[in-house]
């Protein structure tokens, strides 16, 4: 229910952002400004962890999944199934994992040549394949970071009393 409210709020902000767009700007630039406007106007809260995670991926992808896809109720429910023990499968615990996973993406994005050179991965699938490959220093660091998050060995997840049993993506 609260996700429905947040997404309704996003829709309203999207509509109000359209009103303030410069009519001379191209559609792609308008969409970019609208997205920035929406993200800047979001209320502070736990759902922001998922959105921040999604945006960390999007910064290195040409055609990224939207936060509405990444943070959909169905996706959040799917991801919660990876949390152990079962009684820790809550939004709050999942969002702590998102915060940790975002840090891993940030490490990857700031060291991966495709991300730092101005070129980007074509899709989330290709981005995640590069992260998981284990063939570069960047992917090895990402895998180490993710494993640390998932085993609750990182600063962000060490006190939650839960682990994540697989890579989330």
Using a 10 angstrom Cβ sphere, with 0-12 exposed, 13-18 middle and 19 or more buried, the burial of residue 19 is: exposed
Question: Does 43 sit behind a cis peptide bond, omega within 30 degrees of 0 on the bond before it?
Answer: no
Q: Does position 8 have pLDDT exceeding 50, yes or no?
A: no
* Cα angle: 94, vertex 41, 60; to 5 degrees: 60
Q: What is the average pLDDT score of the chain?
A: 81
Q: Confirm if 160 and 169 have CB atoms less than 8 A apart.
A: no
Nearest Cα residue to 130 out of 117, 119, 118, 140: 140
* pLDDT confidence of residue 109: 97
Q: Confirm if 124 and 64 have CB atoms less than 8 A apart.
A: yes
Q: Does position 129 have pLDDT exceeding 80, yes or no?
A: yes
Nearest Cα residue to 3 out of 47, 52, 38, 36: 47
Q: Does position 163 have pLDDT exceeding 50, yes or no?
A: yes
**Residue 146 CB neighbours (<10 A):** 25
Whole-number Å distance between alpha carbons of 114 and 120:
6
Q: What are the distances in angstroms from CA 162 to CA 1, 54, 98, 146?
A: 25, 22, 13, 14
Of all residues in the chain, what percent carry a pLDDT higher than 90? 57
User: Which residue has better confidence, 24 or 83?
Assistant: 83
Of all residues in the chain, what percent carry a pLDDT higher than 70? 72
**For residues 92-126, b (16+ Cβ closer than 10 Å) or e, as one string?**
ebbbbbbbbbbbbbebbbeebebbeeeebbeebee
Q: Confirm if 13 and 37 have CB atoms less than 8 A apart.
A: yes
């Amino acid at each position: 229910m609260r996700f429905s409210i947040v997404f309704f709020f996003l829709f309203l902000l999207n509509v109000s952002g359209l009103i303030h767009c410069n009519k001379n700007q191209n559609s792609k630039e308008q969409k970019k400004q609208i997205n920035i406007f929406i993200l800047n106007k979001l209320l502070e809260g736990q759902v922001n962890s998922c959105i921040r995670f999604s945006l960390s991926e999007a910064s290195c992808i040409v055609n990224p999944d939207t936060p509405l896809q990444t943070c959909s109720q169905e996706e959040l429910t799917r991801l919660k199934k990876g949390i152990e023990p079962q009684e820790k499968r809550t939004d709050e615990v999942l969002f702590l994992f998102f915060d940790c996973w975002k840090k891993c993406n940030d490490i990857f994005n700031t060291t991966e040549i495709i991300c730092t050179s101005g070129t980007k991965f074509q899709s989330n699938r290709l981005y995640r394949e590069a992260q998981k490959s284990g063939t570069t220093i960047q992917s090895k660091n990402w895998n180490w970071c993710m494993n640390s998050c998932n085993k609750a060995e990182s600063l962000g997840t060490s006190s939650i009393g839960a682990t994540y049993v697989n890579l989330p993506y």
